[in-house]
Amino acid sequence: MTPWEMVAVLAAGIAGGGINTVVGSGSLITFPTLLAIGLPPITANVSNNIGLVPGGLAGVLGYRTELAGQRARLLRLAPASLAGSIIGGLLLLNLPEQTFTAVVTVLIALSCAMVVIQPRLSRMLASRPRHAHGGPWLLLGALLAGAYGGYFGAGQGILLIGLMGLLLDEELQRLNAAKNVLVVLVNGAAAVLYIFIADIDWVAVLLVAMGSMIGGFLGARIGRRLPAPVLRAVIVCIGVVAIAKLLTD
């Protein structure tokens, strides 16, 4: 890796860590960068996943105020996210890389749609009782989002926010904080799996990790100050870019 390539990976880590904290899909910056410097796709994917974990932790710390009172909810959802992560990681290492492309594109599109219609649906469902933790549908959603995150990960944050926005009566910033915790669990579990059974470029991991930590802290400072409509618009815009990137690749 040349010095300029190292700078590019570090910069991609900063951008990816910041985007992941605000909404998700930071991998659509870091993963293509690792491909561009010559890493094989699977090695780039697993190295990217491991490197983004420290940035996710930084984002969780940045959103700790919004996490207050969500412990029971997260303890309920965490096992489903972790189980899904292991499933997704095993799929990544055993299936062709192109297999999930169409599914990923559809999931991100559906997630963006859910984010857009969530305020109207919330008003429609306001008179109906909703489970404090999202009920069995959110558990299933956390499992599927975890599997998606363990396989590739770009857009899992959008997917989680869309699901939680529909199934929980909660402010968007608090949903974003909960999303950050679940994404860290998914990426962390997949990273442990990859360390034991996948080829990893540790220089790339270190550079992405350093950048994502910086980006995670910056993303939390910026994201927490965004009004809900603005944050919603950012989520949808990044989702559209994610879809375009997947289709053009």
153 Ramachandran zone, left/alpha/beta (phi>0; psi -120 to 50):
left
Q: 172: which 2 tokens?
A: 């968007």
Percent of the chain with pLDDT over 90: 29
What is the Cα–Cα distance from 215 to 27, expressed in whole angstroms?
13
* pLDDT, tens digit, 9 for 90 and up, residues 90-137: 988 887 767 766 776 777 777 777 667 766 765 665 555 666 667 888
Q: 49: which 2 tokens?
A: 């996943």
pLDDT band at residue 79 using 50, 70 and 90 as cut-offs: very high
Model confidence, pTM: 0.82
User: 2: helix, coil or strand?
Assistant: coil
What is the Cα–Cα distance from 188 to 50, expressed in whole angstroms?
7
User: Are 208 and 9 within 8 A, CB to CB?
Assistant: yes
User: Are 10 and 212 within 8 A, CB to CB?
Assistant: no
Q: pLDDT averaged over the chain?
A: 83
Looking at residue 185, its amino acid is L
Looking at residue 202, its amino acid is W
Least confident of 33-37, 105-109, 160-164, 166-170: 105-109
What is the Cα–Cα distance from 171 to 200, expressed in whole angstroms?
38
The label of the residue with tokens 């996210």 reads 81
What is the Cα–Cα distance from 204 to 227, expressed in whole angstroms?
35
Q: CB under 8 Å to 155, separation ≥6 — which residues?
A: 24, 25, 28, 104, 107, 108, 111, 148, 239, 242
Which pLDDT score is estimated for 205? 95
Q: Is the dihedral of CA 80, 81, 84, 90 positive or negative?
A: negative
* pLDDT, tens digit, 9 for 90 and up, residues 136-151: 889 999 999 999 888 8
Range list of H helices, the chain: 3-22, 27-36, 41-62, 71-94, 101-124, 135-151, 156-167, 172-197, 202-223, 228-248
